Every structure is written in C-alpha cells, then in structure tokens.
C-alpha cells in the first residue's frame, strides 16, 4: 500500500528560558523515523512529555522541523511554504482530532455548522457542503444526520461530541489523520465505540492514521504498528502484535506491566514498576536515555547511545541488552 506519511530523522528542538538569563535547548523530538501507509494505523505510545503530540504536529507541518524531513505522499513538505501547502491541497488532506471533546466545540454553534465550517473556509458550494456534512455524520454514526445537524454540543454526550470532532476532520476528505488521545477524556464505556469507528472509517476512506495514546492496551485494537517513545526518541517499534507479544526494550516491558487488568488477585501482589519519573528533557541522560530508570542497565548504557536495530522481522529496538533479553538470558521484571 501507498505510503502517506514518512518522517526521516525528524528533530524538533525548543529554546526555553532557564533561570534568569540563560536559555537551554529542549529536544522534544530527537531523530524520529516513521512511516504510515494508506489504511494503516500507527500507534505512538509513551509517558507524558515524551514527544507524542509534537510528533503528530510536526507530521502535519503544524510545527516546523528543526532537522530531518517530512514527506506527504512522497513529496517533501518539511520546508514547504504555507501557500504551497494550500495550493497543493495538502492542508485539506491532513487533519487532526484533538483530545478534549468538551472545549474543542464552539458551544454556540449547531453541530451541522461546526462540521461544515472547514468546508466553508475552503470555499465549497452549499450543495457540496450539505452532502459532505451528511456523509461525515453518517460515517461517525450520528444518524440520522438531519436529527443531529440542528443540535448544540451540550445536548450530546462526550462520546457523541468526539464523533462530531471526527466528522469535522473528515469533511475535507483527508488521506492522513492524527488522532491525539481521542478517547482519553471520554467514559470508558464509550471508548471502544470511538476507536472501532475510527478504524472502520480509516478503511472505508483509505486513510493513514497516527494514533497517539497513553494507553498501550488500546493500541492493540486499532493499530497495525506501534512506536514506543521515550524522551523524544523511539525505543521500540514494530508490528503491534509482535511488540505486545514479544516486547524487548526494558521500557516497553515495564510499561506493559504497569497496565492494570481487572483481576482480583492483583490486590495481593505489588506491581512491578518503573522507578522514578522521566528525567527532564532539558537535561536528558547520556547514552541510552532510559538508563537512569532501567533495571538492567550496564556501564555501556551510560556512555553509548544504542541504535534502533531490527531484532525480529520489522521489529526494531534501541537497547544494548536487547539480544540477551530476546534470548531469555536476561529478565527485566
């Protein structure tokens, strides 16, 4: 299948004030390579602050890259000017769905107008607008659409509002969508509905999706591939089935162990945890950035940065001890 998005060695640095006078470089993304094909979802998981949203925004060129390249359908857009992005219709073809279904919808606008807005901005005709809005509402199962177009956001549940957000992202016929924590603020009982919906729309509209999440368990149901990030870098990436079944990077293994499952036996055991918190990205550790929290770190980890290396087919890991872990010669938990 055709590649929709490709990032090559993407870096995004911020200059942030530190102390009274000085400034420091914050490496939000530090050399990320990733691609997404049509009808494919790649999940990006990791702790707060590891760079997930930055990755999403850079891939949409909502943020400029510091270094590296971003390709949309084979064309380098990393330096493309805004007018050109628009003239080539790239802006329409790349959309984002935000986390918060409550504040992201204008409370004074009707659902129909909210969904129509992007089309109006792009100067579509009335009939076209009506048709695209109805189709999008049908796609997100806000049916019958004529019943929803006249409602206001407060009349909808969190899950329904998030579906309005998705419809709004769909009206311009995108080929690439970034879904940034699309279900983290809605009730557990509606999450699966939204995620499964996103997946089926992705297939019917043949889109590529970047699914950003804290919740690695949901990645399983919606993504073909997953990238686990730590402090602006990819620690492990591969087919979702492979990474979840055979996690190799100590961080991934421990992250998976932190996910609660409903088992009454849990209360008699302590959970294996990752000690401490992610270090400040202003002052990242040398070598492997995970070494300060890694239970199996060795001297080499402090000094030398491990390269992302293929250990299983299509399954890459950046860890000096990956080979031992994979062989079962070393236990992380």
Partner 1 sequence: MSGALAVEDLRVYYRTDRGAVRAVDGVSFSLARGESLAVVGESGSGKSTLGLTLIRALPANASVVSGRVYIEGEETLSLSLTDFRRRYSWRVISMVFQGAMNSLNPVLKVGDQIAEPLIYNGETPRDEARRRAMEMIELVGLPREFYYRYPHELSGGMRQRIVIAMSLVMNPKILILDEPTSALDVTIQAQIINLVKELIERFSLSVIFITHDLALASDIADRIMVMYGGQIVELGSAERVLGEATKHPYTEKLLASIPRLRGETIPEFIPGRPPDLASPPPGCRFHPRCPYVFDRCVKEEPPLFKVGEGHVAKCWLHGE
Binding residues for ligand SF4, per CB under 6 A? Answer: 249-250, 288, 290-291, 294, 296-297, 301, 306, 319-321
Residue 10: strand pairing partners? 32
Question: How far is it, in rounded angstroms, from Cα 62 to Cα 13?
Answer: 14
Determine contact, residues 150/110, Cβ cutoff 8 Å.
Answer: yes
Q: Measured on CA atoms in the order 91, 96, 101, 102, is the torsion positive or negative?
A: negative
Q: Which does 294 bind (CB under 5 to 8 A by kind): partner 1, ligand ATP, ligand SF4, none?
A: ligand SF4
**Closer Cβ to partner 1, 175 or 180, answer by number:** 180
Q: Specify the 3-state DSSP secondary structure of 207.
A: coil
DSSP 314-325: TEEE--TTHHHH
**Closer Cβ to ligand ATP, 16 or 298, answer by number:** 16
Q: Does 41 bind Mg ion (CB under 5 A)?
A: no
Residue 298 CB, nearest approach to ligand SF4 (Å): 6
**Closer Cβ to ligand SF4, 170 or 288, answer by number:** 288
Residue 280 CB, nearest approach to ligand ATP (Å): 8
Residue 228 CB, nearest approach to partner 1 (Å): 12
Buried b (16+ CB within 10 A) or exposed e, 234-265: bbbbbbbebbbebbbbbbbbbbeeeeeeeeee
**Closer Cβ to ligand ATP, 58 or 119, answer by number:** 58
Q: Could you give the C-alpha distances from 300 to 304, 306, 308, in angstroms and in order?
A: 6, 9, 16
**Closer Cβ to ligand SF4, 121 or 273, answer by number:** 273
Q: Which member of 6, 30, 36, 53 binds ligand ATP (CB under 6 A)? A: 53
Give the footprint of ligand ATP on this chain (CB under 6 A). 14, 16, 26, 28, 46, 48-54, 214, 281
């Amino acid at each position: 299948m055709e590649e929709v998005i490709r990032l090559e060695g993407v870096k995004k640095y911020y200059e942030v004030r530190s102390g009274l006078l000085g400034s420091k470089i914050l490496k939000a993304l530090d050399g990320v390579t990733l691609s997404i094909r049509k009808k494919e979802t790649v999940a990006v998981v990791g702790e707060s602050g590891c760079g997930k949203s930055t990755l999403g925004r850079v891939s949409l060129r909502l943020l400029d890259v510091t270094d590296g390249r971003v390709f949309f359908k084979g064309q380098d857009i990393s330096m493309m000017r805004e007018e050109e992005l628009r003239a080539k219709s790239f802006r329409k073809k790349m959309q984002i769905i935000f986390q918060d279904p409550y504040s992201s919808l204008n409370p004074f606008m009707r659902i129909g107008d909210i969904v129509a807005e992007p089309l109006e901005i792009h100067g579509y005709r009335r009939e076209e607008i009506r048709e695209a809005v109805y189709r999008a509402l049908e796609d997100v199962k806000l049916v019958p659409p004529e019943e929803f177009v006249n409602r206001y956001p407060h009349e909808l549940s969190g899950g329904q509002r998030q579906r309005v957000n998705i419809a709004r992202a769909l009206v311009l016929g995108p080929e690439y969508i970034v879904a940034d924590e699309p279900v983290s603020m809605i009730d557990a009982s509606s999450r699966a509905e939204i995620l499964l919906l996103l997946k089926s729309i992705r297939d019917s509209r043949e889109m590529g999706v970047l699914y950003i999440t804290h919740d690695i368990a949901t990645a399983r149901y919606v993504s073909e591939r997953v990238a686990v990030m730590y402090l602006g870098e990819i620690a492990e990436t591969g087919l979702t089935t492979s990474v979840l079944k055979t996690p190799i990077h100590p961080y991934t293994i421990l992250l998976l162990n932190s996910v609660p499952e409903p088992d009454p036996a849990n209360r008699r055991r302590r959970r294996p945890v990752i000690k401490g918190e992610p270090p400040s990205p202003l002052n990242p550790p040398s070598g492997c950035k995970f070494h300060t929290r890694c239970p199996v770190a060795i001297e080499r980890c402090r000094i030398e940065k491990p390269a992302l290396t293929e250990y299983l087919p299509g399954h890459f890991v950046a860890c000096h001890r990956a080979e031992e872990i994979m062989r079962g010669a070393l236990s992380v938990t």
